[in-house]
Amino acid sequence: MLKDLLVKLWQELDIPGSLPKSRDSVYIVPIEEGLEIVCKDLGREGYQLFTSVVRVPEGNCEELFISLMHANLFGEATGGAVLGMDYEGEDIILSQKVSYGCSYKEFEYVIEDFCNWVEFWREEALEQVKQRAKPFL
């Protein structure tokens, strides 16, 4: 089921070549330069999407982490996705579960919304890093 959705998405996004074969029901979809979404088929539980939003900035990231926790609180600043960190603690990731059996239009909407939230949080993280770098007057 996920493969069928991704084949259609691949065609609609005019991604060169065909959808690569899956390894353990995991597909990597190159949306644009610098943005790949990993899609995993969870069987009847649905599908899992995730991607790296940004590398964890060096130094004091307390304000950024507080913003991420607030965003996750009710899912309002993530569109229902979840912000977290990868296992190594090097990247901030965005993850979202998609319902099994969703239509292609629903899937396409979730992907578009997901990409928009990735872009939002990339900009937000960069802005917070810039703010932290400004000297106090």
- What pLDDT, on a 0 to 100 scale, did the predictor assign at position 137? 42
Residues 6+ apart with CB under 8 A from 80: 96
- What pLDDT, on a 0 to 100 scale, did the predictor assign at position 8? 92
DSSP count for the chain of H helices, then E strands = 3, 5
pTM (global) more than 0.85:
yes
What distance in Å separates the CA atoms of residue 9 and residue 31, rounded to the nearest whole number? Answer: 10
Total domains in the chain come to 1
Do 44 and 81 contact (CB within 8 A), yes or no? Answer: no
Domain at 93, CATH number: 3.30.1460.10
Strand, coil or helix: what is 130? helix
Strands (E), 56-90: 82-85
89 is in which domain, residue-wise? Answer: 2-133
Mean pLDDT by 10 residues, the chain (137 residues): 90 85 87 93 94 85 84 86 92 94 94 95 84 54
